[in-house]
Amino acid sequence: MPEQELVIYNATVVTMDADSTILPRGYVMVRDGGIAAVEAGDPPATAGGERLDAEGGLVLPGLINTHTHAAMTLFRGLADDLPLMQWLESYIFPAEARMDAAFVHTGARLACAEMIRAGITCFCDMYLFAHEVARAARDCGVRAVVGEVLYDFPSPNYGPIEAGFAYTRELIETWRGDPLVSVAVQPHAPYTCRPELLREADRIARHYDVPLVMHLAETDGETRQIQERYGLRPVAHLDRLGLLHANLIADHAVWLTADEIALMAQRGVRVAHCVESNMKLASGVAQLPELLAAGVTVGLGTDGCASNNDLDLFGEMDTVAKLHKVQRLDPTVMDAATVLRLATIEGARVLGLAHRIGSLETGKRADLIVVDTRQPHLTPLYNPVSHLVYAARSADVRHTVIDGRLVMRDRRLLTIDLASLLDQARAKAALVTSWVA
């Protein structure tokens, strides 16, 4: 049972509510995992439970990572700066072919440790052995949307695709009603999934009323490949299959025409924008301002650590704000307030969780972080939103609360034995080294 009551006071409260309200000195009261009050001033002296003095820091909703492959923490820095196919074929595929459930469990826990320390309180994961990702998230106390990656070739986890569908159904049924973990159906991408696979995945998602998540239009090469194979670009291909609907979360969505953006907006497709991965893999620059102008709901994602190489939405925010400015030589695009919304409330919308998380409002679940502003690089403080996007770093996150539970206090992880976890990660890395040798 988590603490019944927790109050965080002496804070600048960045609510991310519809009016982007900021309380220059206020408090947040947490009761039974939910937000009981968000108020200006000091809390009543009678407020029970645990009291956390933010010491003038910022309190804001936990950041939401709308796309990652958590267990790939174990591949971070294994190989970089290579052409995509060489990187996949010489390193990632051989390693993934050998991995097992225990490997994914360790990698996902390592990711949870990193995310809690970076102020990420919710992530959407696509990977193999998704049950293990779910268990890792639950054990670490991190909110997650997980899904087993589905594709045409045999999987190191489930084997043939029929077993993948069965695994997915069982995953959904197992985790139904869990306070932290939910499940999505996650076919990999149009270029790795035949139309029949995609249709069946969509049927399962509809049957269980869970999101459908897919990589979409990540590279120009993929776009051309789909066009050659099906005579249509990826978005039109999905549309013909009946998959371009409001239940679809499209990861990356880099290579889009204006018409495709308009169609995605019309259909209510949501997008996970993974700017640093797109840069490092040289995939391309997504048309983020156009997506937003068209009314598409967009959140931010880190992608996996093999292609980024971190799980750090403070870094992503900074890069999102800067890249799109230089891309169009206009310093006014992707202003800090817009970017901070993408990392919080809009991320919640992407995952279909905005009724529960994404802002500090009474009645929502208590997923929140405290940022320590008593730092040279955050002093003076003219504008909290500017600092959060352009100057704060993940290491400035002092406390992390998820579903009302304090999972990090003064940068000490409370749900993870870090030293032991790092030892386990090193042991798994020794395996990886032997696999790719």
Among positions 317-376, residues that touch a copy of itself (CB under 8 A) are 318-319, 321-323, 325-326, 328-332, 334-336, 374, 376
- Give me the phi and psi of 29, to 5 degrees please: -105, 130
Tokens encoding 19? 């009016």
Judged by CB under 8 A, the chain residues 185 through 244 that form the site for a copy of itself are 220
Nearer to a copy of itself, 312 or 403 (CB): 312
Q: Which of 88, 356, 425, 435 binds a copy of itself (CB under 8 A)?
A: 425
Beta bridge partners of residue 408, listed in sequence order: 400, 413
User: In which region does residue 216 sit, left (phi positive, over 0), alpha (psi from -120 to 50) or beta (all else)?
Assistant: beta
34-40 and 22-31 beta bridge pairing: antiparallel
Nearer to a copy of itself, 177 or 376 (CB): 376
User: In which region does residue 282 sit, left (phi positive, over 0), alpha (psi from -120 to 50) or beta (all else)?
Assistant: left
Judged by CB under 8 A, the chain residues 285 through 304 that form the site for a copy of itself are 285
Place of tokens 């999987």: 155
CA gap 146, 99 in Å, rounded: 18
Segments of 41-119 assigned E as strands: 50-53, 58-61, 63-68
Q: Which of 412, 365, 410 is nearest to 53 (CA)?
A: 410
Nearer to a copy of itself, 43 or 289 (CB): 289
Judged by CB under 8 A, the chain residues 107 through 146 that form the site for a copy of itself are 110, 113-114, 117-118
Supply the minimum distance, in Å, between the C-beta of residue 395 and a copy of itself.
3
Burial of 199 (C-beta count, 10 Å sphere; 0-12/13-18/19+): middle
Supply the minimum distance, in Å, between the C-beta of residue 199 and a copy of itself.
32
Q: How far is CA 200 from the centre of its chain?
A: 25
Check residue 262 for interaction with a copy of itself (CB under 8 A): no
By CB under 8 A, how many residues form the interface with a copy of itself? 73
Check residue 88 for interaction with a copy of itself (CB under 8 A): no
Judged by CB under 8 A, the chain residues 387 through 406 that form the site for a copy of itself are 387, 390-391, 393-396
CA gap 29, 49 in Å, rounded: 10
Supply the minimum distance, in Å, between the C-beta of residue 326 and a copy of itself.
4
Nearer to a copy of itself, 227 or 319 (CB): 319
Supply the minimum distance, in Å, between the C-beta of residue 364 and a copy of itself.
28
Q: Which of 429, 425, 405 is nearest to 110 (CA)?
A: 425
Check residue 25 for interaction with a copy of itself (CB under 8 A): no
Nearer to a copy of itself, 283 or 344 (CB): 283
Supply the minimum distance, in Å, between the C-beta of residue 405 and a copy of itself.
19
Supply the minimum distance, in Å, between the C-beta of residue 379 and a copy of itself.
5
5-14 and 22-31 beta bridge pairing: antiparallel
Supply the minimum distance, in Å, between the C-beta of residue 136 and a copy of itself.
13
Nearer to a copy of itself, 355 or 377 (CB): 377
Nearer to a copy of itself, 168 or 400 (CB): 400
Q: Which of 312, 316, 346, 367 binds a copy of itself (CB under 8 A)?
A: 312
DSSP state of 135: H
CA gap 48, 31 in Å, rounded: 10
DSSP 295-334: T--EEE----GGGSS---HHHHHHHHHHHHHHHTT-TTSS
Check residue 76 for interaction with a copy of itself (CB under 8 A): yes
Instruction: Please tell me the total number of residues recorded for the chain in this structure.
Output: 437
Supply the minimum distance, in Å, between the C-beta of residue 391 and a copy of itself.
5
Judged by CB under 8 A, the chain residues 151 through 180 that form the site for a copy of itself are none
Nearer to a copy of itself, 157 or 424 (CB): 424
Nearer to a copy of itself, 265 or 391 (CB): 391
Supply the minimum distance, in Å, between the C-beta of residue 106 and a copy of itself.
10
Place of tokens 């994914």: 104
Beta bridge partners of residue 14, listed in sequence order: 22
DSSP 3-state percent helix, strand, coil across the chain (nearest 5): 40, 25, 35
Supply the minimum distance, in Å, between the C-beta of residue 133 and a copy of itself.
16
